[in-house]
Amino acid sequence: MLAILADIHGNYPALLAALDRADQLGCERVISLGDVAGYYAQPNECIQVLRARRVLNLKGNHDHYLATGVACPRSQSANDCLDYQRKVIAEDNLEWLARSPISATLGEISMVHAGWNDPLEEYILDPEESYFRDRPGTIFLSAHTHVPMVRTFTEKVYANPGSIGQPRDGDPRAAFAVLDGRQIRIERVPYDIEATARAMDAAGFQQYYYRNLFAGTRIGS
């Protein structure tokens, strides 16, 4: 049984709550579909936990921005948060992000952060079976939208675990997926959002950058 995490985005309290639930469920392995970095104030703490657990982490777009110095093309808020993280990220943690693979396979499981046409930036919002038909594998996992989804087709299964650190489906609880054989389900976990808010406040961020967490939306919504 695998726990599939994604879009942690420096939200350490949310990550700890999700990992605790995964342990309670008896998950033998944890996999991260990327974006450990970005948005919130504790990327080092998040990376250290994943490294200690030897978690396979795929490179997300925010991980790429942080590791390369490239700006996010869509969001000034995201860039403000990345600028802060560039000042505090430990060198060995940055190197760990930079080494993260862009995709991975595990038996019949195919994994990327975003999509198979563009592993860093593609948004898979309403997938159809035809998208996966000629791709190797039977189980396909990606993230990036921050909205959990499970689609079962005739021969293929697709799932997005949602976001640990910044859910965007109106539910503020952290989201991740549990893969048991071919069965995939979404888990939701409450966490101490106030602790994340305090960490952001201590880092010098105004409420604009984190009040969305209480509503389960993107920044500015």
Average pLDDT over residues 178-183: 93
Q: What is the pLDDT of residues 13-48, one digit of tens each?
A: 999 999 999 999 999 999 999 999 999 999 999 999
User: Is residue 70 helix, strand or coil?
Assistant: coil
Distance CA 125, CA 123 (A): 6
Domain ranges across the chain: 2-102+160-214
| DSSP letter string, 10-48 | T-HHHHHHHHHHHHHHT-SEEEE-S--SSSSS-HHHHHH
What is the bridge-based pairing of β-strands 183-189 and 29-32? unpaired
Please state the rounded mean pLDDT for residues 105-115. Answer: 97
Class of domain 2-102+160-214: alpha beta
Which pair of tokens denotes residue 122? 């593609």
**Is residue 182's pLDDT more than 90?**
no
Q: What percent of the chain has pLDDT over 90?
A: 97
What pLDDT is stored for residue 217 in this prediction?
Answer: 98
Element (H, E) at 68: helix 61-68
